[in-house]
């Protein structure tokens, strides 16, 4: 697993404005995902959409994925970008 | 009683329940250990924990119950609050403390 592959999998499964994935040891990754699909959903529902995009085959590796999700509005106001 | 009923009973009969790997004293995963520390930082010391490593049926069943693929999982008053990332974010933004205060009546 690479950060690029993980990023592509998320983008292919979920309409996103912005996706960042970092991690270079093949096991531990951190992701920031910005999607209009998150609007009106709570954090749990937002993360569930990303897990859905990642699919079952990646669930064994998801343990090492830490993520933060943002709606486009929340992302525009965020200080971390 | 099947495992889904067992989980439902656990999360509704206890106000704060953390499904984790290991125990608060000996967490077997960094994410589980960090979540325990956050709960303690919020002044919660008598929460219920379930070690999923000790029960394979619970370990698989909890992922189905919440439609969430990872452990730890925090439940407050029967509601799934989130995993390690969400608990950390809520703690940093003060939301977790508010939720806990309203739960334990502080």
* pLDDT for residue A80 is more than 70: no
DSSP strand E in chain B: where? Answer: 16-20, 48-51, 73-76, 79-82
Contact B86 A48 (CB under 8 A): no
Domains of chain B: 3-104 (3.40.30.10)
Q: How many angstroms separate the CA of residue A52 from the nearest CA in chain B? A: 10
Q: How many angstroms separate the CA of residue B31 from the nearest CA in chain A? A: 9
User: Mean pLDDT of all residues in chain A?
Assistant: 89
> pLDDT tens-digit profile of B30-46?
999 999 999 999 999 88
Nearest by CB to A68, from B67, B68, B85: name it.
B85
Distance CA A33, CA A46 (A): 9
Q: What is the mean pLDDT of residues A8-34?
A: 93
pLDDT beneath 70, residues of chain B? 105-106
Asked if B82 reaches chain A (Cβ–Cβ under 8 Å), the answer is yes
Contact B68 A62 (CB under 8 A): no
Q: Which CATH architecture has domain A3-76?
A: 2-Layer Sandwich (3.30)
Which residues from chain B sit within 8 angstroms of residue A59, using beta carbons?
Answer: 69
The confidence score (pLDDT) of residue A61 equals: 67
How many Cα atoms sit within 13 Å of B43 on the Cβ side? 12
Q: List all residues 6 or more positions away from B73 whose beta carbon is below 8 Å from its beta carbon.
A: B18, B19, B62, B66, B80, B82, B83
The confidence score (pLDDT) of residue A68 equals: 94
Higher model confidence: residue B81 or residue A61? B81
| Chosen from A28, A38, A44, A70 to mutate, greatest number of chain B CBs within 10 A | A44
Q: What confidence tier does A62 reach under pLDDT thresholds 50, 70, 90?
A: low
The interface predicted TM-score of the complex, written ipTM, equals 0.85
Q: What residue has token string 């969430």?
A: B68
Q: What is the mean pLDDT of residues A44-59?
A: 87
Are B7 and B62 within 8 A, CB to CB?
A: yes
The confidence score (pLDDT) of residue A64 equals: 79
The confidence score (pLDDT) of residue B61 equals: 97
């Amino acid at each position: 697993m690479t950060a690029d592959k993980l990023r592509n999998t998320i983008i292919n499964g979920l309409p996103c404005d912005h996706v960042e994935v970092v991690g270079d040891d093949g096991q531990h990754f951190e992701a920031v995902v910005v999607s209009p699909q998150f609007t009106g959903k709570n954090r749990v529902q937002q993360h569930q959409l990303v897990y859905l995009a990642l699919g079952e085959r990646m669930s064994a590796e998801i343990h090492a994925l830490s993520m933060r999700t943002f709606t486009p509005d929340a992302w525009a106001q965020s200080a971390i970008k | 009683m099947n495992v889904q009923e067992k989980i439902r009973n656990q999360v509704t009969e206890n106000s704060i329940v953390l499904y984790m790997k290991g125990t608060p004293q000996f967490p077997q995963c960094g994410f589980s250990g960090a979540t325990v520390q956050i709960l303690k930082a919020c002044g919660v010391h008598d929460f219920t924990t379930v070690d999923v490593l000790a029960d394979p049926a619970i370990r698989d069943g909890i992922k189905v119950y919440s439609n969430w693929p990872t452990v730890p999982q925090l439940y407050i008053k029967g509601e799934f609050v989130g995993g390690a990332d969400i608990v950390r974010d809520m703690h940093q933004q003060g939301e977790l403390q508010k939720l806990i205060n309203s739960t334990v009546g502080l």
